[in-house]
């Protein structure tokens, strides 16, 4: 059996600063070697790439330094991700056939794919090495052959040597260090273990670090957001304010028109008037095919209605799923009430937002239950006398949800590199927003 390990090499000479960033987490931090610190992390031992990317981005971002996250799987595959100031800048896979291609991998007559990714020039710039040609050669050699690298740790060793970075991570795992198996030139007494580390500022008083408001941009839903998620999912531009979503009816697809026609008649029969059309335009959801929506107000202008259409490809079924979501919302002084047929996990609400979910596509039935809920209250809901007041509330609520989700780590900002990869993987329909109605 070959090597299994994950570790993180940071271009930072300050071991204590790195350890402080990991306080309370089961990790081991080496002293500086060649201007670099190496981190070994217990949770990363499972080789969950989402865990690895999350920790790498956090460390690189909080410490403001380059970080190279390396994964070696059974000495058959070497993968790395390069982060700079918290953003993923480059990634590499020495054996692209390995994961998800087991049949081809086991077929000796089938040639292995060449290594994918890896920017030798960027690696050398980040780590201050003058060895672009040498690094490029190391990255491009084939895997599992005498002409290239039979064992992945050999490629890792050559890469560390060419870049002039610490070699402590080559062939070394968290488990090995914990068991006292140390690489050459590493003194166990110089290691810092962070699980029981408590960091206090000078004077001993805890100081709350200032929190900056999250910036608009492309975000992904973290794999930690829901137990059913095994990986982070690119979502799109956030926050989606009214002006970002607003569109004309002609911009919505024929599929939208046909799927929502009957529902629009039901809204009209209930006395609701259309207040404008909308659709998410900067979507990165891989299987999204088409989206659109309509905003409504009733005659009293106290009941905010929404009709939202989505068409999504379901890979496991090899088919598309169309959903039409109906929602009614009333805004009170201290809370918000909604009735909707939307099911499943929701990341778009705040603690003071009560949502009643109704398994029905009957607009009138959902609205009746919504009215029953309002009648049980003594307070009257807010009146939106002008569309501008509804727009103002919508944007304020959207911003609060956005900031809350980012603060809780549910939404994570994507790097330019991640956005480019996500756009590349989008279906052509998703880029165009679905079939045009023109």
pLDDT digits (tens, 9 = 90+) for 236-260: 999 999 999 999 999 999 999 999 9
Please check whether residues 154 and 267 belong to one and the same domain: no
Degrees to nearest 5, angle at CA 294 with 290 and 295: 145
pLDDT digits (tens, 9 = 90+) for 124-160: 999 999 999 999 999 999 998 888 999 999 999 999 9
Is residue 315 left, alpha or beta, with left meaning phi > 0 and alpha meaning psi from -120 to 50? alpha
In which band, very low, low, confident or very high, does the pLDDT at 434 lie, cut at 50, 70 and 90? very low
Domain final position from 196, 227, 258: 196
Q: Is residue 436 domain-resident?
A: no
Please check whether residues 381 and 313 belong to one and the same domain: yes
Q: Is 419 in a helix, a strand, or coil?
A: helix
Q: Is residue 109 domain-resident?
A: no
- How high is the pLDDT of residue 430? 55
Residue with tokens 């968290």: 174
Tokens of 41: 């992390």
Q: How far is CA 112 from CA 38, 77, 119, 139, 350, in A?
A: 31, 12, 21, 15, 50
- How high is the pLDDT of residue 317? 86
- How high is the pLDDT of residue 1? 75
Q: Is residue 202 domain-resident?
A: no
Distance between CA atoms of 415 and 17, rounded to whole angstroms? 24
- How high is the pLDDT of residue 329? 97
Give me the mean pLDDT over the 79-98 stretch.
Answer: 93
Going by C-alpha positions, the residue among 392, 350, 402 that lies closest to residue 240 is: 402
Q: How far is CA 22 from CA 50, 58, 175, 203, 407, in A?
A: 17, 10, 17, 21, 19
Q: Is residue 203 domain-resident?
A: no
Q: How far is CA 83 from CA 34, 106, 416, in A?
A: 19, 33, 12
pLDDT of 27 above 80: yes
Number of structural domains, the chain?
2
pLDDT digits (tens, 9 = 90+) for 152-182: 999 999 999 999 999 999 999 999 999 999 9
pLDDT of 296 above 60: yes
- How high is the pLDDT of residue 284? 93
Give me the mean pLDDT over the 411-425 stretch.
Answer: 89
Please check whether residues 351 and 388 belong to one and the same domain: yes
- How high is the pLDDT of residue 210? 43
Give me the mean pLDDT over the 364-377 stretch.
Answer: 97
Q: Is residue 431 domain-resident?
A: no
Distance between CA atoms of 112 and 145, rounded to whole angstroms? 10
- How high is the pLDDT of residue 428? 66
Please check whether residues 180 and 305 belong to one and the same domain: no
Please check whether residues 399 and 368 belong to one and the same domain: yes
pLDDT digits (tens, 9 = 90+) for 270-290: 999 999 999 998 999 888 999
> Strands across the sheet with 246-247, in order?
246-247, 273-278, 288-297, 304-314, 319-331, 336-340, 353-357
Distance between CA atoms of 25 and 133, rounded to whole angstroms? 38
Q: Give the residue, 431 or 139, on which the prediction is more confident.
A: 139
In which band, very low, low, confident or very high, does the pLDDT at 424 lie, cut at 50, 70 and 90? confident
Please check whether residues 188 and 62 belong to one and the same domain: yes
Phi, psi angle pair for 221, to nearest 5°: -85, 120
Tokens of 322: 């169309």
Q: Is residue 230 domain-resident?
A: yes
- How high is the pLDDT of residue 345? 65
Percent of the chain with pLDDT over 70: 90
Neighbours of 349 (CB within 10 A): 16
pLDDT of 400 above 80: yes
- How high is the pLDDT of residue 231? 87
Contacts of 118 by beta carbon, 8 Å cutoff, 6+ apart: 80, 90, 91, 92, 139, 140
In which band, very low, low, confident or very high, does the pLDDT at 426 lie, cut at 50, 70 and 90? confident
Domain final position from 139, 163, 196: 196
Please check whether residues 56 and 137 belong to one and the same domain: yes
| Domain of residue 54, residue span | 5-104+114-196
Please check whether residues 155 and 60 belong to one and the same domain: yes
- How high is the pLDDT of residue 386? 93
Distance between CA atoms of 146 and 156, rounded to whole angstroms? 16
Please check whether residues 306 and 361 belong to one and the same domain: yes
Give me the mean pLDDT over the 347-375 stretch.
Answer: 92
- How high is the pLDDT of residue 98? 76
pLDDT of 230 above 90: no
The segment with the largest mean pLDDT, out of 2-16, 187-201, 230-244, 262-276, is: 262-276
Q: Is residue 25 domain-resident?
A: yes
Torsion angle, alpha carbons of 175, 177, 181, 184, to 10: 140
pLDDT digits (tens, 9 = 90+) for 62-84: 999 999 999 999 999 999 999 99
- How high is the pLDDT of residue 99? 67
Residue with tokens 């599929």: 255
295 forms beta bridges with 276, 306
SS3 letters for 315-372?
CCCCEEEEEEEEEEEEECCCCEEEEECCCCCCCCCCCCEEEEECCCCCHHHHHHHHHH
Q: Is residue 212 domain-resident?
A: no
pLDDT, mean over the chain? 89
- How high is the pLDDT of residue 211? 54
Please check whether residues 100 and 228 belong to one and the same domain: no
Question: Greatest CA separation found in the chain?
Answer: 80
Domain final position from 140, 162, 196: 196
pLDDT of 207 above 60: no
Please check whether residues 192 and 221 belong to one and the same domain: no
Distance between CA atoms of 123 and 89, rounded to whole angstroms? 10
Please check whether residues 189 and 254 belong to one and the same domain: no
pLDDT of 206 above 60: no
Give me the mean pLDDT over the 265-273 stretch.
Answer: 97
- How high is the pLDDT of residue 113? 84
């Amino acid at each position: 059996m070959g090597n299994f390990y994950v570790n993180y090499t940071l271009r930072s000479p300050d071991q204590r600063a790195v350890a402080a960033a990991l306080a309370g987490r089961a990790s081991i931090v080496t002293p500086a070697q060649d201007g670099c610190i190496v981190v070994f992390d217990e949770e990363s031992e499972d080789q969950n790439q989402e865990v690895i990317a999350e920790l790498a981005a956090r460390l690189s971002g909080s410490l403001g330094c380059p970080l190279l996250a390396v994964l070696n799987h059974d000495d058959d595959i070497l993968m790395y991700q390069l982060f700079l100031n918290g953003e993923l800048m480059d990634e590499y896979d020495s054996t692209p056939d390995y994961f998800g291609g087991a049949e081809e991998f086991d077929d000796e007559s089938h040639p292995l794919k060449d290594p994918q990714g890896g920017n030798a020039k960027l690696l050398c710039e980040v780590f201050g090495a003058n060895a672009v040609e040498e690094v490029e050669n190391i990255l491009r050699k084939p895997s599992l052959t005498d002409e290239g690298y039979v064992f992945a740790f050999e490629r890792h060793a050559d890469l560390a040597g060419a870049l002039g970075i610490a070699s402590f991570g080559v062939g070394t795992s968290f488990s090995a260090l914990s068991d006292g198996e140390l690489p050459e030139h590493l003194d166990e007494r110089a290691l810092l273990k962070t699980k029981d580390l408590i960091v206090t500022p000078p004077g001993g008083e805890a100081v709350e670090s200032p929190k900056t408001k999250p910036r608009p941009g492309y975000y992904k839903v973290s794999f930690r957001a829901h137990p059913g998620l095994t990986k982070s999912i690119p979502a799109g531009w956030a926050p989606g304010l009214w002006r970002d979503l607003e569109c004309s009816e002609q911009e919505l697809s024929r599929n939208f028109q046909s799927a929502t026609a009957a529902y629009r008649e039901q809204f009209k029969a209930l006395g609701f008037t259309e207040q404008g059309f909308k659709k998410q335009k900067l979507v990165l959801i891989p299987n999204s095919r088409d989206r659109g929506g309509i905003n409504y107000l009733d005659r009293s202008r106290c009941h905010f209605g929404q009709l939202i259409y989505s068409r999504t490809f379901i890979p496991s079924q090899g088919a598309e799923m169309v959903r039409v979501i109906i929602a009614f919302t009333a805004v009170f002084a201290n809370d918000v009430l909604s009735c909707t047929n939307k099911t499943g996990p929701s990341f778009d609400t705040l603690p003071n937002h009560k949502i009643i979910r109704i398994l029905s596509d009957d607009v009138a039935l959902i609205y009746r239950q919504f009215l029953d809920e309002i009648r049980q209250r003594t307070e009257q809901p807010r009146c939106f006398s002008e569309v501008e007041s509804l727009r103002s509330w919508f944007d304020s609520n959207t911003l609060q949800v956005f900031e809350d989700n980012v603060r809780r780590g549910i939404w994570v900002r994507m790097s330019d590199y991640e956005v480019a990869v996500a756009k590349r993987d989008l279906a052509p329909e998703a880029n165009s927003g679905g079939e045009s109605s023109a």
